[in-house]
Amino acid sequence: MRHFLIVGILVVVAAILTYVGLDSANLMPVAASAQAVPIDEMWNLELIFMSFFFALIVVPLAYSLIAFRRKKGDTSDAEHMEGNTKLEIAWTVLPLFIVIAFAYVGAVNLAETRRVDPDAIIVKVTGIQWSWKFEYPPYGVVSDELHLPVDKQVLLQMTSTDVIHSFWVPEFRVKQDLVPGRITELRITPTLEGDYKVRCAELCGTSHAFMEKPVVISSQGDFDEWMAEQVKLAEQAAATPGGRGQALVAANGCAACHSINGAQGIGPTWSGLFGHEVLLTDGTPVSADEAYIAESIKAPQAKIVAGFEGQLMPSYGFTDEQIADVVAYIKTLR
Ligand code: CUA
């Protein structure tokens, strides 16, 4: 009985210390959305149970090693035991109830993270190898940054042009896959103004690790200002072919592979490309004129530049007009 009492006290103490240690380790980033609240509650509940079971297993084990070690000169066998039905029923039924309780709490919290606000703003999100595109339908604005006003639910309607990506802002806690040919939804109510980052949480190829874009949560006033600026920029850009091309390039994440500063990436740089000669994989030189660049956008595998074998640029399905705009933009990159 004395052993049970000592072990019981030690288990409680070890459980509390483990929980305090884990809790103060700041395992989670700051919570910045309404959806983070039920998730963090669930997480905290799990930490408590984890700490308790950790102590329940490790403390009696360590205690037995010390308290019941063989005495010097004792060569007798241990006492024979035939099992313990009561104990077996207890350790089967108790965990069953704990798991059912967790399933219930989990379901309630999951429903909480999906609670629908009928006034939610809609933003269309497209995942592209390896970038993000955000469309704001009411404004006709396309951006590669996600700007949102604080304390307003946003409904993200998401899809992918190529492979499966996953939208993840750790501070918002919730996460959702983007699947080609399908629209998936995610609701977020940002509650804390600040600069965050969306990252891709699904291994999607060479530059998966760099598939990040800024997420800016601001006051409604700052958001409206940013949006007005975007609308103005879009109007200005739409007036010239080069401007339209630049907007297309930004919206489709071309910079994930093609730099405009001469740095070699996954694909050839666009800096100083126009009007210069490039060497193809078979050694033939080709002049990078309008026809060549247009062909390389339309049928990326037709002529591959030496050194970029094996990089499979997708065809983005641009219209001839859009391709002409992109070519006009590339022409400006001297
Ligand atoms: Cu997209 Cu990983």
Q: Which of 180, 215, 236 is the last residue of a domain?
A: 236
Q: Which residues line ligand 1 (CB under 6 A)?
A: 127, 130, 165, 200, 202-204, 208, 211
Q: Which atom of ligand 1 is least distant from the CA of 165?
A: 1
Query: What single letter denotes the amino acid at residue 124?
Result: K
- What separation in Å is there between the alpha carbon of 187 and the centre of ligand 1? 20
Average of pLDDT values for 195-203?
Answer: 95
Task: Indicate if 45 and 135 belong to the same structural domain.
Answer: no
Task: Report yes or no on 139 lying in a domain.
Answer: yes
259 vs 174: which has the higher pLDDT:
174
- What separation in Å is there between the alpha carbon of 164 and the centre of ligand 1? 7
Q: What is the pLDDT of residue 278?
A: 84
Average of pLDDT values for 32-50?
Answer: 94
Q: Which atom of ligand 1 is least distant from the CA of 205?
A: 2
- What separation in Å is there between the alpha carbon of 42 and the centre of ligand 1? 27
Q: How far apart are CA 168 and CA 146, in angstroms?
A: 12
Q: What is the CATH number of the domain that holds 209?
A: 2.60.40.420
**Confidence band of 269 (pLDDT split at 50, 70, 90):** confident
Q: Which atom of ligand 1 is least distant from the CA of 203?
A: 2
Atom 1 of ligand 1 has which residue's CA nearest to it?
Answer: 165
- What separation in Å is there between the alpha carbon of 175 and the centre of ligand 1? 13
Residue 125 has pLDDT above 90, yes or no: yes
Task: Indicate if 222 and 150 belong to the same structural domain.
Answer: yes
**Confidence band of 295 (pLDDT split at 50, 70, 90):** confident
Average of pLDDT values for 11-28?
Answer: 93
Task: Report yes or no on 76 lying in a domain.
Answer: no
Query: What single letter denotes the amino acid at residue 330?
Result: I
Q: Which of 236, 253, 275 is the last residue of a domain?
A: 236
- What separation in Å is there between the alpha carbon of 255 and the centre of ligand 1? 15
**pLDDT tens string 96-124:** 999 999 999 999 999 999 999 999 999 99
Task: Indicate if 59 and 163 belong to the same structural domain.
Answer: no
Average pLDDT, the chain: 90
Q: What is the pLDDT of residue 120?
A: 93
Q: What is the pTM of this model?
A: 0.74
Q: Which domain holds residue 53?
A: 2-66+88-113
Q: Name beta bridge partners: 270.
A: none
**pLDDT tens string 138-188:** 888 888 899 999 999 999 999 998 899 999 999 999 999 999 999 999 999
Q: Which atom of ligand 1 is least distant from the CA of 211?
A: 1
Task: Indicate if 109 and 129 belong to the same structural domain.
Answer: no
Domain count, the chain: 3
- What separation in Å is there between the alpha carbon of 242 and the centre of ligand 1? 29
Q: Which atom of ligand 1 is least distant from the CA of 204?
A: 2
Q: What is the CATH number of the domain that holds 297?
A: 1.10.760.10
Task: Indicate if 168 and 185 belong to the same structural domain.
Answer: yes
**Confidence band of 24 (pLDDT split at 50, 70, 90):** very high
Average of pLDDT values for 208-219?
Answer: 94
Q: What is the pLDDT of residue 310?
A: 77
How much of the chain, in percent, has pLDDT values that exceed 70? 100
